[in-house]
Amino acid sequence: MTTTAHPHHAHSIGATDTRRRIWAIVGGSSGNLVEWYDFYVYSFTALYFASEFFPAGDQTTQLLNAAGVFAAGFLMRPIGSWFFGRLADTHGRRMSMMIAVIMMCGGSCMLAVLPTYASIGVAAPALLLLARLLQGLSVGGEYGTSATYMSEVAVHRHRGFFASFQYVTLIGGQLLAVLVLVIMQQYLTNAELKAWGWRIPFAIGALAAVVAFFLRRSLAETTSDAVRHQKDAGTIRGVLRYPRSFFTVLGFTAGGSLIFYTFTTYMQKYLVNTAGMDAKTASRVMTAVLFCYMLLQPVFGALSDKIGRRNSMLCFGVFTVLATVPILSALAHVSDAYAAFGLVILALAGVSFYTSISGLVKAELFPMHVRALGVGLSYAIANAIFGGSAEYVALWFKSIGYESIFFWYVTVMCGIALVAAITMPDTRRQGHMTEDETKLMEV
């Protein structure tokens, strides 16, 4: 059956649909921002609380222990991605995202009031680990579900642009975390920050998570009952029916997440601990870097709509393989804040070819009934192994006197991502999301 709509009415429907999609992006990304703020604030405040929970050893040893707990949070991501991915594929994206953000709230509340080693001894780092495991479980579910949701609500022709806002808010979470720290550094002394000031960012995150929960309650669902009740919906068996997609995402994430964490969360410590930069200066540099990096995401996302996801991923792979060692080597000896800013933003501009479409390119590789689980699980496994361990591995190589080996390690993993890009299809034209839209048009 075909119908002819009045042009003005059709325009009105189109405008309403666009507004609905934009609101869905805003609602979904707000929770994403809170999730990542809560997760990253740990890394940025570790310089101040590491000695409170791990009093033995020098600064590198204390940071190494704190980074180990940070990495442990990543180990929960595969479990979180399985639980929340299955929930999203069988009960809807909205429900999964609401539960994830409340779980993050609980972890942040726990960190805000946690006693230190001086108060309760070894129980303090144990409880710190427990809180991070809870947050890791939440973030493990957040990535796959929000990436899937934001990709599904995006307009086809501008899907790269709209989906890039997942990383706008992910980076925005990092930016907000470091910005809160910079503001506190202006008003609190180092002694106050180490004694109690580091707790404030966690309390802020817990309150913001409650707000995000109510925003997500108003979101429209993107899946139908028929899709959610398919035989293999939300099952690992269903995901493994698409092995090429699964291993492609593993390859992308191995290199992509490792270099992302290297130049974002670890970079603040690298500038302080290796380059010898003042902690406050390093925080200001990273604030400026993250702000510019955040603004780059829609630009590179829109570019992928023009050149295709595969070409964007090829650009990412080639750039990072060639530029990682020279940039990290130069940063090891940088003393000027402007030079540090230029080098880090150069690196992250190349990484933006990946991060701007990270969730989208993965979502396009899986069909709707296993999309959230497929994206989340494959991402979480590689992210837990390579992304979550980035700081720990970097600090370990430094502690044994071979820091430059870490540069080559990052390069090799980005080479694996390049191989994955070479072997992938152009998902903009051949992806499962395009097939979903074609089926809907035929119904």
Maximum pairwise Cα distance, the chain: 75
Query: What pLDDT sits at residue 15?
Result: 56
Say if CB 67 and CB 392 are below 8 A apart: yes
User: Best-predicted range by mean pLDDT among 22-31, 202-211, 212-221, 333-342?
Assistant: 333-342
| pLDDT score for 8 | 44
pLDDT for position 431: 62
13 or 199, which is more confident: 199
Segments making up each domain of the chain, as ranges: 28-219+235-436
Amino acid at 137: L
> Residue 258, Cα to own-chain centre: how many angstroms?
11
- 9, pLDDT greater than 50: no
What is the C-alpha separation between 247 and 376, in angstroms, rounded? 13
Residue pair 356/312 in contact (Cβ under 8 Å)? The answer is: yes
> Among residues of the chain, what percentage have pLDDT more than 90?
29
Residue with tokens 């959230």: 372
d(CA 156, CA 17): 13
pLDDT at residue 439 is higher than 50: no
User: Per-residue confidence at 17, pLDDT binned at 50, 70, 90?
Assistant: low
* Mean pLDDT estimate for the chain: 84
Question: Is 420's pLDDT higher than 70?
Answer: yes
Specify the CATH architecture of the domain 28-219+235-436: Up-down Bundle (1.20)
Higher pLDDT, 191 or 178: 191
Tens digits of residue pLDDT in 103-155: 888 888 888 888 888 788 878 888 888 888 888 888 888 878 888 888 888 77
371-382 vs 243-263: helix axis angle to the nearest 10? 50
Write down the pTM of the prediction.
0.81
pLDDT in tens, 61-99: 667 777 777 677 777 888 988 999 999 999 888 889 889
Q: Looking at the predicted structure, is the pLDDT value of residue 417 above 50?
A: yes
Residues in the chain: 443
pLDDT at 400 over 80: yes
Instruction: Judge whether 259 and 324 are in contact, CB under 8 Å.
Output: yes
pLDDT per residue as tens digits for the range 302-352: 999 999 899 999 999 999 999 999 999 999 999 899 999 999 999 999 999
Q: Has residue 430 got a pLDDT over 70? A: no
Instruction: Give how far Cα 404 sits from Cα of 4, 325, 387, 397, Å.
Output: 65, 8, 18, 8
pLDDT at 437 over 60: no
Structure tokens at 6: 């009045």
Instruction: Assign 366 to helix, strand or coil.
Output: coil
Confidence of residue 433 (pLDDT cuts 50, 70, 90): low
- Alpha-carbon distance of 415 to 370, in angstroms, equals 28
Indicate the pLDDT class of residue 438, thresholds 50, 70 and 90: very low
Residue 239 has pLDDT above 50, yes or no: yes
